[in-house]
Structures are given as C-alpha cells and as structure tokens.
Amino acid sequence: MPSLESLLLPAVLFFALGFIARVIKSDLRFPPDLAKVLSIYLLMAIGLHGGYELAKSDMVIALTSIIWALVLGFVLPIIGYLSLVATRKVNPMDAAAISAHYGSVSAGTFLTAIAYLDNIGVTYESYPMIMLAVMESPAIVVGLLLAAKARRSQSLSNVPSAGAVVPSTPVDNTSESGFGSLLRDAFTNGSVVILIGSMIIGAISTPSGMSKLFPFIDDIFMGVLCLFLFEMGMVAARRIGDFKKVGLVLAAFGIVMPLVGGVAGAFIGHSMLGFSVGGATLVAVLAASASYIAVPPAMRLAVPEANPSYYLTLSLGITFPFNVLIGIPLYHSLVKMMAAA
Amino acid sequence: MPSLESLLLPAVLFFALGFIARVIKSDLRFPPDLAKVLSIYLLMAIGLHGGYELAKSDMVIALTSIIWALVLGFVLPIIGYLSLVATRKVNPMDAAAISAHYGSVSAGTFLTAIAYLDNIGVTYESYPMIMLAVMESPAIVVGLLLAAKARRSQSLSNVPSAGAVVPSTPVDNTSESGFGSLLRDAFTNGSVVILIGSMIIGAISTPSGMSKLFPFIDDIFMGVLCLFLFEMGMVAARRIGDFKKVGLVLAAFGIVMPLVGGVAGAFIGHSMLGFSVGGATLVAVLAASASYIAVPPAMRLAVPEANPSYYLTLSLGITFPFNVLIGIPLYHSLVKMMAAA
Amino acid sequence: MPSLESLLLPAVLFFALGFIARVIKSDLRFPPDLAKVLSIYLLMAIGLHGGYELAKSDMVIALTSIIWALVLGFVLPIIGYLSLVATRKVNPMDAAAISAHYGSVSAGTFLTAIAYLDNIGVTYESYPMIMLAVMESPAIVVGLLLAAKARRSQSLSNVPSAGAVVPSTPVDNTSESGFGSLLRDAFTNGSVVILIGSMIIGAISTPSGMSKLFPFIDDIFMGVLCLFLFEMGMVAARRIGDFKKVGLVLAAFGIVMPLVGGVAGAFIGHSMLGFSVGGATLVAVLAASASYIAVPPAMRLAVPEANPSYYLTLSLGITFPFNVLIGIPLYHSLVKMMAAA
Amino acid sequence: MITLYPEKLLSIITISSMEDRLVSMFKKYGVSGFTILRARGEGSSGYEADISGFDSNILVTVIVSEKRMEPILESIERKLKKGYHLTTYISDVQVISPDKFN
Amino acid sequence: MITLYPEKLLSIITISSMEDRLVSMFKKYGVSGFTILRARGEGSSGYEADISGFDSNILVTVIVSEKRMEPILESIERKLKKGYHLTTYISDVQVISPDKFN
Amino acid sequence: MITLYPEKLLSIITISSMEDRLVSMFKKYGVSGFTILRARGEGSSGYEADISGFDSNILVTVIVSEKRMEPILESIERKLKKGYHLTTYISDVQVISPDKFN
Ligand SMILES: Nc1ncnc2c1ncn2[C@@H]1O[C@H](COP(=O)(O)O)[C@@H](O)[C@H]1O
Ligand SMILES: Nc1ncnc2c1ncn2[C@@H]1O[C@H](COP(=O)(O)O)[C@@H](O)[C@H]1O
Ligand SMILES: Nc1ncnc2c1ncn2[C@@H]1O[C@H](COP(=O)(O)O)[C@@H](O)[C@H]1O
Ligand code: NA
Ligand code: NA
Ligand code: NA
C-alpha cells in the first residue's frame, strides 16, 4: 500500500512527530527564525537543482508547462471561490481570501512529494520546478480581483462608516488602494525571488562553480527537509485547534479542494504535458497544495476584511497535513492508473 | 595520558575557546537562538542514529538499561540532597533544586564523550542512548518530591503571609499546585520529545529513507558539536563568575557529586549491564553529568523559592567544564581498570 | 575575460541576486541573526583550514607576513585620511572613521577571492589567512589616534558645551575616555577571537579529530558562502541608497582607495613576500578590502562625532560590491602581469 | 478630533517559562489580549541572557480596564509571595477603541 | 537639574506585514523617527506566533509631539475601519531634547 | 485593594554596541536592575536594521525612583553632547513593591 510507505518516510514521520508534540502539549518550541532559514535553504537548493537541469531541457516544453501553470493558478481559485460562495457558510471576502490559497502552491508539500518519489525510486522531469515558481503568485492576483468584486457589491454598507473620516485630512491611499503595488508585491515575493534567482544561477553558473555547491544542496537536503516538516507539524497542530471555529463544511472544503486540484493537475501533467508518472504526480501535488507562506500575508494586506483564522486553518491545519499524509500517495496512484489506462 | 588527548579534541578545544573568549572579555556573542538550533540538531542526529542501531539490538538488554537508568535517576538526587543538607550551607529548597540536576543528564557532556571515544577508536553499545533519553525526566520528579517535603516542614512560617491574600478572590491554582501538570511537563519536555521521537523514527524508517539522512546526521555532526561547545564554553565562563556567591563547599559539591555519579555509573555499566569499556564509560558519563537544559526551567517553575544562581553555577559553571575537561578521560580510565581487574 | 568568469561564480551571482532583490523592492528579508551565524561558520571554517595548513608551514615566512600585514594596517588608513582631508569634503572626524575601515579587511571579500581562485584552479599559500586575522584590528587603533588628533584641534569649540555639565556629579569616564579599553576591544573583537582561536585549534588538534571536521568545513562551505553573499548583496543595496548623501567625491574614494590598496597589496604579496600568483592576489584583496564588521561598531563607540552613513555607505555600498564584482579579477590580472614581467 | 479613552497598561518582566501560567491567568480574568516581547536583563536574581532554551526573559504587556486590574494584581502578588520573580509596573494609556479592551 | 519636556508616545501592535505601510504613513506625517520591536500575542484575531515568514506581530513606537498626533490617529482610524488590526495606545512621556521630536 | 507606588520608567533607544556602557553607568548610579529588548528603527542617523553583528538597536528600560534619576539623566546628557545617539524618554509608572527599585 503506497500510503504506508509514504508514512514511513523520515520527512513524513518528522511532520507527525511535530504534530504529536503539540497534541501532547510538549513545551517544545523551535526558535522563531528557524523555519524561515530552513525554507530559504530549501528554496535555494531546489532552485539551483532545477535551474541546472532546466538548462539542459527543452524550452518548448518549459514554456508549455508555464502556460499550464498559469491556467491552474487562475482557474483553481475561481472554482474554489464559486464553491465556497455556494456553501453560504462564509462571506464573499473570506471566500476570495481562502480560494487564493488554493491556486497557489506549497513548497513544503512539493518537497515532500519529491522525497516520496526519490524514496520509491520514481524519476520525474524538472519542469514542475518552474511550475512551482510560476504558480506562487498568479492566484494572489485572482484573489485580489475576487475580493475587489465582493467589496464593490458590499460597498453600500461601507460608505456611511467611511463618511466618519474627517474629509479635510489628506487621503492616505499610500498603498492600500494601489492595486499596482499589490501586484508588484505578488511577483517580487521573497520565495519567488529565491526560487527564480536560484534557478537562473543554477542555469548560468560554470559547471566547476556548481560542483562545489552540490554537497551543500544535496547531502544535507533531506535532513533540512525533516527539520522543516518537524516544525510545520507543530504549526499545523496549532492551527487545527481552530477547527471548531471553521466548521465542518469549511473543513470539508480543505480536503475536497485539494482532491479537485489533484485530479486536474494529474490530468494536465499526464495528458496535456505528457510527463512521466513522477512528473505528473508532481503537477498533481502542485495543483492540490495550498500556499501558507506567500498568500496569507498578501491576503492580510489586501483583504483585511477576511478572517485569517479561516484561511490559515484550512491551508496549514487541514490541507497541508492531508496532502503530506494521504494526498501524495493518492495522486501518485491516480497518475499510475492514468498511465496504465 | 588520556586527559591530554581529550584536551586536543577539536570539540573540547572549542569549549576552551569559548571559555577563554569570556575570560578575556571579548565582545563575541552568539545569536540568542543558535544554541537552541544546534541542540535540536544534535538531539535529532543522535536520536536517529541510536534508534537505527537499537532496532537491531536486544530488547532484554534495552529494558534492563532502562531500569538501571531509572534507578540512577531516582537514587542520585537523593544522595545529592542528603549530602547538601548535611553541609548546612544551603536550605532544603536549594538542596532539592540542586540535586535534581544531578539525577538528570547533560546531552552536551554525553556527546563530547562520544567524540572522545570515537577519536581514540573505542566502540560502544547503543543502549546508553536510551538511558540518556530515560534519565532526562525522573530526577525532576524526585526534585519536586524533595521540595514538597522541605516546603511542608517550612510551612508554619508561610501561613501568615499567605493569610494576607484576600480570601474572596478565586484561588488561582491554575497550575502551580498541580503536581500532575508538573509531572506531565517533565515527560513531555522538548528534549525528550526530540530524542525519543527521533529514536522511533530511526527505528521504523525505511532503510532507503534513512540512507538519505546519513550525510546530514553524520558528516556535519562534529562541526555542529564544536559550535555548540564553543557557545557552551562562553555560557560556562559567565556562570563560573558567580563562583563566589556559591561558596567553596557548594563548589566542591559540583566536583564530588559527578565523581560519585561517575563511579556509580561505571559500576552499573560494567558490572550490572556488562557493557564494553566504551559503553560503560558512557553510562558513567550519564550518571556523572548534570542537566542544564531540562531541569533548570522545571525547578524555576516548581521550586521558585530556590535560588537559580546556585544550581546554574554548579551545573553549568562547575560540573559541565569539569566533566568535559577532566571527567570523561577519568571515567574512561576507571572503566578500563574495572575491565582489567 | 577574467571579469566575466568571476561574475558567473555562484557566490558572486548570489551577491548580485541579493542586490537585485532590493532594487526591485522584493519583500525578501533574511532573519536578523542569519548573517551572524553564517559569518561565525565562515570564520571558523577558514580558521581551521588555515591553522591546519600553517602548522606545516615556514614560521619565518609566517612572521614576515605578519609584519607586512601590520605595515598595511597602519599605513593604508593614514593614506586614506590624508586623501580625504585633502578633498575638503568631510571633516577630520569623518575622515578618521572612514579611513580606519580601509586599513582593516573584509572576510567576505577574501572568501569570495578564494572561491574565485578555486574555481579557476589557481593555488595559493596559507599565509594570507594569518594576514586576514592580523589586519582586522590595527587600523582601528590608527583610526582612534587620527580621531584623537582631530578632536584635539577641534577642542576649542567643544569646551563651552562641556561646561554645561554640572561639575559636582561624578565624572563618568566609565570607558569613553579609556583609550586602553578601546585598544583591548580592538584585539578581543569577536571575529578575531573566532579566526585566531580556530587557527590554533586547526594547528594543534589531533589529525583524527580534524578529519571528522573536514566534511563540515569543506563540503558545505561554498553553499554557506553563497547564502552569506546573498544577504550581503541585500545589505549593500540598502546602503548604496545613501549614495546621494555621500556625494560623488566620497563615492569615488570608495573605488580609488581599494585600487590603491590593491596595487600596494599586489606589490607586497608578489615582490616582498614572494608569494605565488594566487597568494599575492589574496594579499592584494586584503589590502583593497574595507571592513564592515569589526570597524563600524568600534568607530561608533570611539568616534561618535563621525557620521555612520558615510563609512557604512562607502564600505558596504561601494567598496564591497566593487571588489566582489570587479576588483578581484582585476587584482588577479595585475599580479599575473607582475609575475610575467 | 479623535476621542481618546483611558485604560491601564500592565507590564510584567519575568523568565520565559512563566509564560504559560501568566497567559492562563490573564484568560481566567478575562483580558481581551496580550503581547509578549523577548527580553534579557538583570535584577535581584542576577543576569538573564536571551539564550532561548537556557534562560531568557519576556516582557508581557496587557492593556486592561482599571476595573479588571485588581484581581490580576492580586494574583501577581500571590505569585510573588510564592517566590516567583515578576517585575511588574502599570502605566496610564489612552486608546481609540475602548470596547476592544473590556 | 535637567529640564524635561512633554511628548506623546504612540504604540501600535500589528502584524509584521503592515510595517511598510505604517512607516510610509509616519513619514508622510513628518515624524522624526520610529522604533520597531518583534512581538507575538493574542487578541480578537487569535494567536500570533513570532515565526518569521509565517505570522509575527510587531510593536511600533513613535515619539511625537501632541500637535502632530492628530492626523496620524485619523489615519489609524481609517485603517481600522478598513478591517486592519492595529492595537493602538498613547502615553505621556518626558524627553530631554524636545527639538529631536518636532 | 493592592497599594501602588509611583516610580519612573526610563527608556533609551540606541545602537547595541552602547549596551556595555549603559549597563556600567546604571550600576554606578545604583539602579536595581534593567531590561533590554532588541529593536530596529529610524531616526536622525538613518535606518538601523536588526542584523546582529552589523547594526542593531536596543531598547533599554530601567525602573528607578525619582531621586536616583537625576545623575543618570546628567550622564545621558553628557553622552549626547559627545555625539552618541540616545533617544531617551521617561514615563510615570506604578509598582507593587517599591523597595525592589530603591
Ligand atoms: N529596576 C528594574 N528596571 C527594569 N527592569 C528590571 C528592574 N529590576 C528587574 N528588572 C527585570 O526583571 C527581571 C527579573 O528581576 P528580579 O526579579 O529582580 O530578578 C530582570 O532580569 C530584569 O529584566
Ligand atoms: N488587551 C491587549 N493587551 C495587549 N496587547 C493586545 C491586546 N489586545 C490585542 N493585543 C495585541 O494586538 C494584536 C492584535 O490584536 P487584535 O487586533 O485584537 O487581533 C494581538 O496579537 C496582541 O499582540
Ligand atoms: N521619534 C522617534 N520615535 C521613536 N523612536 C525614535 C524616534 N527617533 C529616533 N528613534 C529611535 O532612536 C534610534 C536612534 O535615533 P537617532 O538618534 O535619531 O539617530 C532610531 O534608530 C530609532 O530606533
Ligand atoms: Na494549488
Ligand atoms: Na547525572
Ligand atoms: Na584593506
């Protein structure tokens, strides 16, 4: 059974350990900056690797991958938004903020999938790595557009309270109203800069320069991933504590939406892009995963009306553990079935 | 001479360097979170290794080791407490808090001993690793019991001051009086969770998963240990500055108590558990070492009447340097003599 | 062209990436302690290596290197000070503080030069490593002396304001006036302690102890250097933003002064010390580089009248990028020309 | 002109392992929130570095209405009597939205 | 005897991603400087850890003369109405060099 | 009803390398303790990040009785005249145990 094999991967076990540590109320805490350092390392390592491989790859497939990544990034949040609004359990602003997370991606989930495939000896293309970089941001833009639309329809109720503002003071639209600046933020996001920057460096560096880097980006990679997932397990357990606030319908969305994404991604990876089983599994994982690094702060700034508990609990507390523990082997089986068909 | 050999080990030299840096009043400071990160790594690495080895070991010996670890953890603090009370230099609350440290263990000392044995090519069993995990907590419980006993005998003087509390306010025994919660704290302690969790992961992971982790937990281990001991040298030097506050009798306790523990541990490791010279040396080191991570915060919470300067100076400023510089080669010689006899 | 080869080194590319990240206003931030941790590692690694090599080296050459390092450390700030005062663009206090930076060294630049030489397969002696350690501090002393001289000539204007101090209060010359304590600070500086301490440890450790350390100090070295330069690129870009405050003449000093130092260093390395092309290039880089770790805080304390914007912008914003991107290959070519002549 | 309302700001400096107890005490007495900052310092019990995992201080601040303050102070006083170190001070502040803190 | 002058100390607790906006608002209204501290805490929007890159609070403090305060408070109130979380309080302080803050 | 006693809270924002000097000054003037927090900020001398080892601010706070304050403020003023940057402010606080701070 693939699921058990996935569970016995050290990276997944450390995720579980972090989760359990919180459940048994251990006083274990990681220093506040450790997760950030680990994720800088992970993005740098995967970017350098990806860039190094991509330099030898087919640019036409690379471009096609980018286009499909954009399609996923734009379409998934819209599906999510419409489903959420249909449930009538959240208001449109919350729906916009939540669904933006599902159009973006989780590098932690992606890396766990890579560890999973490596462990069972399945190879994969390097194109999904560009898709990872490409998919970070577009969903933020879609989220903003959906929120703007929702805000317009609510605007009647907001006018009176805004009227309380003394009109003689200078209007400080420093950046709140600046859609352009939010757009720029989305694409100059720190994770995107590390990932794309490292990919370019991996692609253009001299081979002798790269060879000096490989021990750093290869040998300790799995250990760093384990530490990162250890901490993420603690974070997820803290977030899942808000499960009750979120309610059953929303919680179900946190499992159904990745399944929808996973099927879409598997189809695109396998049928549209013609990737191997490993590569298509990675595309499925990208589509299924929800962002918890880039999108939450963007939504806090751009959609302050939305309740952060909702999107953080869904993305970190439900979808992330689901994907790491169950989703990855599931999407892999699905792609294997597609390939066999 | 073994002692010199021990001193020329990089790990020990870095400890000395840290110590000297403080003595010459260098402005060298490590970032506040570095020691924590390094110790998370060290516990994880040693746990994974230990678990991996243990999975192949004899469960009867493992259980016997655990029982002897418990015996040491319970008996050593009682010996410590009785000796301290006999000196009449500290009050019973301080005696309870100090002696709890000596029933627990110092992972930093244990790892230095491993580096020492590795360096001179002496092999050892993996059972002492479980003993390390087992011995973290029981002494905390003994410390609490001793303090509760001491508090009861002092209670007459406390009643009046407690009477000053306005009786109509709700009694806030949130957790102070909760002996159960302190007990739970002792066993869900962060270090214990990392160590036992990593041992289990090391034992149940697939071999191919573990093989990806070995470069991380092996290759950089010694370097990380050096950095950790570098910082600990600075911490020890800062603590030994309080030497005068502590007084000569207490300072002597900080050297005699590890010798007592070392002899007891050597005897148990060699004669009771039948370990090799390396393994018995490690048991001696466990018994001789005093906790400076798990026990101090536990005592601060549970025995607030005790003066932290006493136990921190003894454990970090005296016993830790003594064991690293002199104790380890000494216990090793002792075990060799026992083995030769 | 050597310059391009240098630019395609991963370490240099990451420096550029950090720089660009700030220019495009990315929200990328490294945790505040990461740079410190990375530089502790880099100093430790280079010190251990250097000490290990030095133990096998010629002590006469080592001593001669130290003497030439002292000469550079004392003479370069004086040249800098006189040039700056001659420009009449800064007051003497600023001139003293700025020029102290140029007599000291930048370990980051030195390590980039090592990466550069390694990449193109050029070997070098280990003596420049001691020069790196030796040159950290003397320039601080020269800076203090120059500032004291400048302060004396300005003292007439200061007396009245000092007269406002109520004379009956105890004079608190805790350490401000203590030239001795500043001197001690200069030589017990954290970087110097790590570097010299690690060199000694590298020299006296047992070979078997050192062999356990090599994976740590070798394998991940280049990766850590890349991360460090990534952050330094961001810092440099932030500092170069103050370019306008500094003015064109001062900015030019930030490029001319390293060229002067580079020529002096190349001459000393090649002709006076008789080093190989690699070794002489490293001496040139030492002389050309400006401190940004040890000297700025020393100047803040000792020369509070000087404007930190000036020396930080020059050292971090102009000279450091100049050396990393252009200087290193330039000094290398220069030494090659000398060697060919 | 923005109207301001008076509230109290309670600050407590103590070792980081006291955090959980203080937080549950606050919750018991119904404060609306709290903020925690890492600190180091020196006092009657010697120097506390900010080495996480060894010893480290925290500065806990709570904005609270005067009427909720009394039981909190009493609880702090009880803890002080038990031997805990809690450097405590109160200051007057003004806030924009007083309902937030009640 | 050192003369002291009255000023206001404005403190704002919010999520770290608000930093850039607050800083540019301060600059717009001409404050002489500001100080930022890392914080974590709990309030109406739940617990904020101080995990950098995930969620983290900041405590922003500004010393400002009373006359400059009003437009800043109005700007904060506008942000609060938009849904941003800004726990804000003001206290009276005394300074040595009042020209520094004007 | 808990009795509260008035004290002064002195706060100083400066670069971290000033720490040792401030601490020895405090000790000289007999303060009972102090607390230090890491900070970053901007003022007349430009932006200070909190990159440890490069540049970083600290916020130093001392609770001190009014009578001990004067020589400390004079010492700060002397430092300001020498060119050091010390953003200093004082506020009124109330404490539970006044003997602790005397
Ligand atoms: N007078 C004071 N001013 C500011 N902080 C203090 C003062 N006294 C104590 N503290 C802080 O409170 C902590 C505990 O102090 P104590 O309870 O005196 O051991 C110290 O580590 C300091 O951080
Ligand atoms: N009563 C309070 N006292 C101190 N800090 C508070 C209080 N309420 C909220 N905060 C801080 O402000 C942040 C945001 O609070 P809120 O806007 O209520 O979600 C919290 O994370 C706390 O750090
Ligand atoms: N008006 C202000 N409000 C709050 N903090 C300030 C203010 N002015 C200066 N600071 C802080 O004091 C530090 C030094 O300021 P300065 O002495 O003006 O260069 C700055 O980096 C800020 O952290
Ligand atoms: Na997705
Ligand atoms: Na022990
Ligand atoms: Na130089």
**Crossing angle (nearest 10°) for helices C277-288 and C328-340:** 130
Do residues E56 and A32 lie in contact, with contact meaning Cβ atoms separated by under 8 Å? yes
* Measured distance between the N- and C-terminal CA atoms of chain E, rounded to whole angstroms: 23
Token representation of residue B59: 């469960």
Q: What chain F residue is nearest to D74 in terms of C-alpha separation?
A: F2
What is the pLDDT of chain D when averaged over all its residues?
92
The pLDDT confidence band at residue A136, using thresholds 50, 70 and 90, is confident
Tell me how far the alpha carbon of residue C168 lies from the centroid of ligand 3, in angstroms. Answer: 30
The pLDDT confidence band at residue C336, using thresholds 50, 70 and 90, is very high
Contact C308 F46 (CB under 8 A): yes
What pLDDT does A188 receive?
A: 86
Q: Report if residue A228 sits inside a domain.
A: yes
* Distances C144 to A329, C306, F44 between C-alpha atoms, Å: 66, 12, 24
Chains E and A touch (3+ CB pairs under 8 A): yes
- CA dist B320 and C300 (Å) reads 37
Interface test with E, best of D96, D99, D101 (most E CBs within 10 A): D96
Confirm or reject: Cβ of D60 under 6 Å from ligand 2: no
Contact C309 F18 (CB under 8 A): no
Contact E39 D34 (CB under 8 A): no
| Residue E44 contacts A, CB cutoff 8 Å | no
Chains D and E touch (3+ CB pairs under 8 A): yes
Domain total in chain A: 1
Give the pLDDT mean for C155-160: 50
Which chains would you list as touching B if contact means 3+ CB atom pairs under 8 Å? Answer: A, C, D, F
Do residues C77 and C102 lie in contact, with contact meaning Cβ atoms separated by under 8 Å? yes
| Residue E35 contacts F, CB cutoff 8 Å | yes
**Per mean pLDDT, which range of A7-11, B323-327, D22-26, E19-23 is the poorest?**
A7-11
Q: What chain E residue is nearest to C166 in terms of C-alpha separation?
A: E1
Give the pLDDT mean for C150-162: 61
pLDDT in tens, A106-120: 999 999 999 999 999
Closest CA to C109 of C137, C132, C82: C132
What pLDDT does D50 receive?
A: 67
In degrees rounded to 5, what are phi and psi of residue B126? Answer: -95, -5
Sorted by sequence, the CB contacts under 8 Å of residue C60 that are 6+ apart come out as: none
**Ligand 2 test: best mutation among E11, E13, E82, most atoms within 8 Å of CB?**
E13
Confirm or reject: Cβ of F16 under 6 Å from ligand 3: no
Nearest atom (ligand 3) to Cα of E32: 1
Contact C30 A41 (CB under 8 A): no
Contact C205 B29 (CB under 8 A): no
- CA dist A136 and D64 (Å) reads 41
Give the pLDDT mean for D75-96: 96
What pLDDT does A213 receive?
A: 94
Nearest atom (ligand 2) to Cα of E46: 19
| Residue E13 contacts D, CB cutoff 8 Å | yes
Q: How far is F48 from chain D (nearest CA, A)?
A: 19
Q: Report if residue A166 sits inside a domain.
A: no
Per DSSP, the three-state class of D1 is: coil
Task: Provide, rounded to the nearest whole percent, the portion of chain B with pLDDT above 70.
Answer: 91
What pLDDT does A160 receive?
A: 42
Q: Report if residue A252 sits inside a domain.
A: yes
pLDDT in tens, C229-286: 999 999 999 888 877 888 899 999 999 999 999 999 999 999 999 999 999 999 999 9
The shortest CB-CB distance from C162 to any of F54, F81, F84 is to: F81
pLDDT in tens, F88-100: 999 999 999 888 8
Q: How far is D74 from chain E (nearest CA, A)?
A: 22
- CA dist A332 and A284 (Å) reads 8
The shortest CB-CB distance from E37 to any of D34, D37, D100 is to: D37
Nearest atom (ligand 1) to Cα of F101: 1
Tell me how far the alpha carbon of residue E62 lies from the centroid of ligand 1, in angstroms. Answer: 24
Q: How far is F17 from chain C (nearest CA, A)?
A: 6
What is the pLDDT of chain B when averaged over all its residues?
89
What pLDDT does A185 receive?
A: 78
Q: Report if residue C67 sits inside a domain.
A: yes
pLDDT beyond 70 at B6: no
Q: How far is B331 from chain D (nearest CA, A)?
A: 27
b (16+ CB within 10 A) / e for B281-292: bbbbbbbbbbbb
Nearest atom (ligand 3) to Cα of E35: 23
Confirm or reject: Cβ of E88 under 6 Å from ligand 2: no
pLDDT in tens, A218-234: 999 999 999 999 999 99
Do residues B268 and B288 lie in contact, with contact meaning Cβ atoms separated by under 8 Å? no
What pLDDT does F46 receive?
A: 79
Tell me how far the alpha carbon of residue E87 lies from the centroid of ligand 2, in angstroms. Answer: 6
- CA dist C91 and C84 (Å) reads 9
In degrees rounded to 5, what are phi and psi of residue A130? Answer: -65, -40
Find tokens 């005696």 and name the residue.
B95
Contact F90 E94 (CB under 8 A): yes
Closest CA to A46 of A135, A115, A116: A115
pLDDT in tens, B198-226: 999 999 998 888 999 999 999 999 999 99
Token representation of residue C82: 């006189």
Residue B293 CA neighbour count, 13 Å, CB half: 23
Tell me how far the alpha carbon of residue C236 lies from the centroid of ligand 6, in angstroms. Answer: 18
Q: Report if residue A164 sits inside a domain.
A: no
List F43's β-bridge partners, or say none: F46
Q: Which residues surround ligand 6, an ion (CB under 5 A)?
A: C 289
> What residues make up the domain containing A198?
4-153+176-340
Closest CA to A291 of A271, A261, A311: A311
- List of chain C residues whose C-beta atoms are within 8 Å of the C-beta of residue B8: 204-206, 209
Contact B206 A5 (CB under 8 A): yes
Contact F59 E35 (CB under 8 A): yes
Give the pLDDT mean for F13-24: 94
Confirm or reject: Cβ of E33 under 6 Å from ligand 3: yes
Q: Report if residue B167 sits inside a domain.
A: no
Element housing B189 (H / E): none
Q: How far is B293 from chain C (nearest CA, A)?
A: 22
Confirm or reject: Cβ of D31 under 6 Å from ligand 2: yes
Chains C and B touch (3+ CB pairs under 8 A): yes
Find tokens 């991107």 and name the residue.
C325
* Distances C70 to A50, A262, C141, C284 between C-alpha atoms, Å: 47, 65, 11, 14
Q: Report if residue A146 sits inside a domain.
A: yes
Q: What is the CATH number of the domain that holds B208?
A: 1.20.1530.20
The shortest CB-CB distance from C10 to any of A188, A193, A209 is to: A209
Q: How far is C208 from chain F (nearest CA, A)?
A: 33
Sorted by sequence, the CB contacts under 8 Å of residue B43 that are 6+ apart come out as: B107, B191, B194, B195, B198
Q: Any idea which ligand is nearest the CA of C294?
A: 6
Q: Write out residues 172-191 of C within 8 Å (CB-CB) of F.
A: 172, 174-176, 190
Per DSSP, the three-state class of E33 is: coil
pLDDT beyond 70 at B177: no
- CA dist B58 and A308 (Å) reads 51
Give the pLDDT mean for C25-35: 91
- Report which residue type is found at C69: A
Token representation of residue C35: 């740079």
Tell the burial category of D44 from Cβ atoms under 10 Å away from its Cβ (0-12, 13-18, 19+): exposed
In degrees rounded to 5, what are phi and psi of residue C169? Answer: -70, 150
Length of chain E counted residue by residue: 102
Give the pLDDT mean for A305-331: 94
| Residue B7 contacts C, CB cutoff 8 Å | no
In degrees rounded to 5, what are phi and psi of residue A36? Answer: -65, -45
Q: Report if residue C163 sits inside a domain.
A: no
The pLDDT confidence band at residue A178, using thresholds 50, 70 and 90, is low
- CA dist A269 and C42 (Å) reads 43
Length of chain B counted residue by residue: 341
